[in-house]
């Protein structure tokens, strides 16, 4: 993925300037988060290019004197869990063209933050700060929203054995970041793609003819792969257990049926509740003894956690 096109922008990037390389500090923080610095750089470069649309930040160019430098804080406008600080740093770093923006985190991803709390201090060319502002905040607000919602679910099942797990219901292109945000909120990740684990769903059962036939087909083709079976009834749970399933997904089960499935499994397989889950009934579902609650809403419906950039007055 390439960066902005070959025109000078308000951040001082020359026409033929190479895409800036991240500082080792930012790259180290991304790697520590389980994120690929090259992939994040490509994503953020594309987002900045989208905002510039091949042109320039006309408002900033008109209002900010050339060469002006300043400081700013990224501030939480509401309480929640922060996620994506090194991603936001990447935006400010790249927007300066040569890494002239210094980023100093005031919080760490996974921290609970209060409204009015500064999470990132910035110093550098004002043009770069303002041009990168929306790209950085879009990513930070979204990822922090995912982390905040995840933490609410995690808190709701505290004291039980159940853990909150995400799904593949992610924004195209943002899966790695959104699943990282789930981890920041205390949740755990399901498979990252279709190839790192198998999940036999109803359509696979229909195609194969039965749960046991689908199970046998997957085991034959990928014998070492983790294998989960979606079940709609207790009879299917019994069939999946007999086949040797490692993990069973209980799809839209009533509370009483979940409890019956836990008794039936008797520890032979992990159980995951899915479908129709709400935050208000999370504790009741967890109390049945299931091992996971699969919550697609963590990534497809999380409201953004509001952050803003406050430029400090000169002097």
Q: Which neighbouring-strand residues pair with 207?
A: none
> Which position among 69, 112, 134, 175 bears the catalytic label?
134
What is the phi/psi pair of residue 11, to 5°?
Answer: -90, 0
> Which position among 133, 230, 239, 272 bears the catalytic label?
230
Which residues lie closer than 8 Å to 95 by C-beta, 6 or more apart? 11, 48, 101, 128, 129, 131, 132, 135
Q: Is 28 designated active site?
A: no
Q: In Å, what is the CA distance from 142 to each residue of 73, 84, 99, 294?
A: 18, 9, 24, 20
Q: Is 109 designated active site?
A: no
Q: Is 134 designated active site?
A: yes
Q: Is 201 designated active site?
A: yes
Of 288, 269, 283, 281, the closest CA to residue 231 belongs to 269
What is the phi/psi pair of residue 276, to 5°?
Answer: 70, 15
Q: What percent of the chain is helix, strand and coil (3-state, nearest 5)?
A: 45, 15, 40
Q: Is 230 designated active site?
A: yes
> Which position among 112, 169, 191, 219 bears the catalytic label?
169
Angle among Cα 114, 118, 120 to the nearest 5 degrees reads: 130
> Which position among 57, 117, 251, 272 bears the catalytic label?
251
> Is residue 182 a contact partner of residue 169, using CB atoms and an 8 Å limit?
no
Instruction: Classify 107 as helix, strand or coil.
Output: coil
Q: In Å, what is the CA distance from 44 to each residue of 91, 158, 206, 272?
A: 6, 36, 42, 35
> Which position among 201, 246, 257, 306 bears the catalytic label?
201
Strand 247-251, strand 227-231: pairing: parallel
Of 103, 72, 111, the closest CA to residue 87 belongs to 103
Answer positive or negative: Cα dihedral of 216, 217, 223, 229: negative
Q: Which residues are catalytic?
A: 134, 169, 201, 230, 251
């Amino acid at each position: 993925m390439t960066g902005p096109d070959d025109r000078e922008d308000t951040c001082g990037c020359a026409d033929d300037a190479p895409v800036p390389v991240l500082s080792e500090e930012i790259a180290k923080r991304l790697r520590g988060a389980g994120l690929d610095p090259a992939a994040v750089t490509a994503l953020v470069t594309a987002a900045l290019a989208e905002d510039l649309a091949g042109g320039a930040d006309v408002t900033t160019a008109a209002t900010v004197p050339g060469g002006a430098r300043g400081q700013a804080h990224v501030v939480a406008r509401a309480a929640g869990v922060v996620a994506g600080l090194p991603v936001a740093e990447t935006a400010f770093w790249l927007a300066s063209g040569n890494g002239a923006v210094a980023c100093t985190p005031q919080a760490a991803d996974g921290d609970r933050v209060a409204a009015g709390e500064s999470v990132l201090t910035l110093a550098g060319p004002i043009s770069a700060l303002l041009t990168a502002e929306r790209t950085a905040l879009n990513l930070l607000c979204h990822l922090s929203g995912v982390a905040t919602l995840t933490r609410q679910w995690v808190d709701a099942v505290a004291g039980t054995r159940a853990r909150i797990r995400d799904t593949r219901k992610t924004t195209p292109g943002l899966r790695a970041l959104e699943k990282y945000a789930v981890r920041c909120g205390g949740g755990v990740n399901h498979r990252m793609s279709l190839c790192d684990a198998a999940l036999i769903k109803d359509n696979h059962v229909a195609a194969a003819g039965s749960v046991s036939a689908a199970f046998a087909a997957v085991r034959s083709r990928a014998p070492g792969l983790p294998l989960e079976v979606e079940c709609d009834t207790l009879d299917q749970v019994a069939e999946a257990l007999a086949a040797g399933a490692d993990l069973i997904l209980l799809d839209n089960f009533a509370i009483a049926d979940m409890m019956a499935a836990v008794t039936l499994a008797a520890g032979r397989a992990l159980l995951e509740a899915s479908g129709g889950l709400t935050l208000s009934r999370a504790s009741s579902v967890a109390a049945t003894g299931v091992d996971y609650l699969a919550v697609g809403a963590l990534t497809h419906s999380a409201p953004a956690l509001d952050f803003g950039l406050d430029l400090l007055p000169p002097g």
